[in-house]
Amino acid sequence: MTASEPTTARPRILVIRNRFIGDTVLAIPFLRNLRQNFPDATIDVLVEPVSGDVLAGCPYVDELIRWSRPRTKRRSLLQSVANLRDTARWLADRQYDRGYVLKRAAAGGLLAWLAGIPHRVGFACQGQSLFLSRASRLQPLTHEVEHFLDVLRCDGLTVDDGHNENWVAPDAAASLGQRVSTILTDRPWIFLAPCAGGVERRWPAERFAAVIDHMHAKTQAAFFLCGGPGDVAMHAKIKEYTGYADHVHDVSAESSLPEAAALIARCDLCIGVDTGLIHIAASFGKPCVVIFGSADPHQWHPWDTPSVILRSPHPKQSLGQRLVSFMRKPPAAQRWPGGRGNPLDVSVDDVVTASLNLLAASSLPQTTATEHTR
């Protein structure tokens, strides 16, 4: 029996992709390809209670299983093990034939193993391969979407071009539409994604405000903000610093994640830091201007959409990275230098120029999509 042959008349497949919004939405090409290989299978996805909502409209999934866990800083090792054991027991009752682990930590592979899933595929890193039937090695300078697709390739399955896609839930679109019905649509709508979890990914509120001032003066654009409770303070600062606060609309308080996606799908451009909302914008084919910090743009740039990556021209490199750069030429696939960039090295002018160029290009009949890197 080959890897692509089902083990039952209607195989049951579990995909483990819990945690972050961006990582979860990047799994859509994987899920489409999995469904193409197993058109009659039951495909369930283990997701985080909030971030998993980005897959609520995905037609390739039968059920989203929301895995609630205590916050990392508040749970002991014993609590983590107990939660993993209890979840595995519950999953075992569902009798999955195959499991695909789209996480790097060993806990993902361990969960699939404890759940008694006979065929388990994931990444060969962080000890996870000990619990897997087959493991895919992570390739350098490769986008996360391609990392996910490589999991299918290593299992002998066919893969398409990996194109992006997403869907707007009708109820979310209707609810969002009522809230923004009075905002003019004869001018650009620009979505701002200014918030990120790590300090190394943040860009100051006053700079976002300056971008708003310059962009509105040149385009008369309307600007939109939509985030979680932890983003409200940053949004308030941006509105305080800009001279065009009346044209900045923060709909965070009354919007769910599907409604935020519906809003992004209506916008003409997304400007932000390296965060999950950028990947939602890319999944709808929206042009993106992204300010990068320490993350590797090869792995995390907006997938399959017109985009501009703004990053420090001279990122801080370790001694080993400097020695490698000195001794040999960079690989052909390397588009950005290695190292940890500082978002503060990106200027307001950089963002405004890139944004105006993308807006102009998006009004043309055809635009050039971001190059896929392998």
Residue 239 pLDDT > 90? yes
Please check the confidence at residue 1 and state whether its pLDDT lies above 60: no
pLDDT reported for residue 369: 35
Strand partners, 136: 123
**Residue 65 in tokens:** 């299983």
Structure confidence at residue 324 (pLDDT): 67
The predicted model gives 22-48 an average pLDDT of 97
Quick check: 29 and 145 in contact, CB under 8 A?
Answer: yes
Mapping DSSP to helix (H, G, I), strand (E, B) and coil, where does residue 160 land? coil
Q: Report the alpha-carbon distance of residue 109 to residue 121 in Å, rounded.
A: 8
Q: Token digits for 374?
A: 């392998």
CA nearest neighbour of 210 among 308, 346, 311, 314? 346
The backbone region for 86, taken as left when phi is positive above 0, alpha when psi lies in -120 to 50, beta otherwise, is alpha
β-strand partners of 42: 12
Phi, psi of 289 (to 5 degrees): -110, 120
The band of 184, judged by pLDDT with boundaries at 50, 70 and 90, is confident
SS3 percent helix, strand, coil of the chain, rounded to 5, is 40, 15, 45
State the chain's mean pLDDT as an integer.
91
Contacts of 53 (CB under 8 A, 6+ apart): 256, 257, 258
The C-alpha atoms of residue 167 and residue 261 are separated, in whole angstroms, by 9
Task: Tell me the per-residue pLDDT of 341-361, one tens digit each, with 9 for 90 and over.
Answer: 999 999 999 999 999 999 999
Is 303 a residue whose pLDDT tops 60? yes
Instruction: State yes or no: pLDDT of 302 exceeds 80.
Output: yes
What is the model's pLDDT at position 197? Answer: 83
d(CA 289, CA 295): 15
Containing H/E element for 119? strand 119-123
Length of the chain: 374
Between the CA of residue 268 and those of 21, 77, 211, what are the distances in Å? 21, 46, 16
What's the burial of 19, exposed, middle or buried (CB within 10 Å: 0-12/13-18/19+)? middle
Within 115-204, residue ranges assigned H as helices are 144-154, 170-179
Q: Identify the structural domains of the chain with CATH numbers, from first to last.
A: 12-154 (3.40.50.2000), 170-362 (3.40.50.2000)
pLDDT score of 98: 98
Confidence bin at 210 (pLDDT 50/70/90): very high
Each residue of 245-270: pLDDT tens digit? 999 999 999 899 999 999 999 999 99
Across the range 108-116, mean pLDDT stands at: 96
Token code pair at residue 20: 């972050």
Supply the pTM of this predicted model. Answer: 0.91
DSSP string, 255-297: --HHHHHHHHHH-SEEEEESSHHHHHHHHTT--EEEE--SS-H
Average pLDDT over residues 45-73: 88
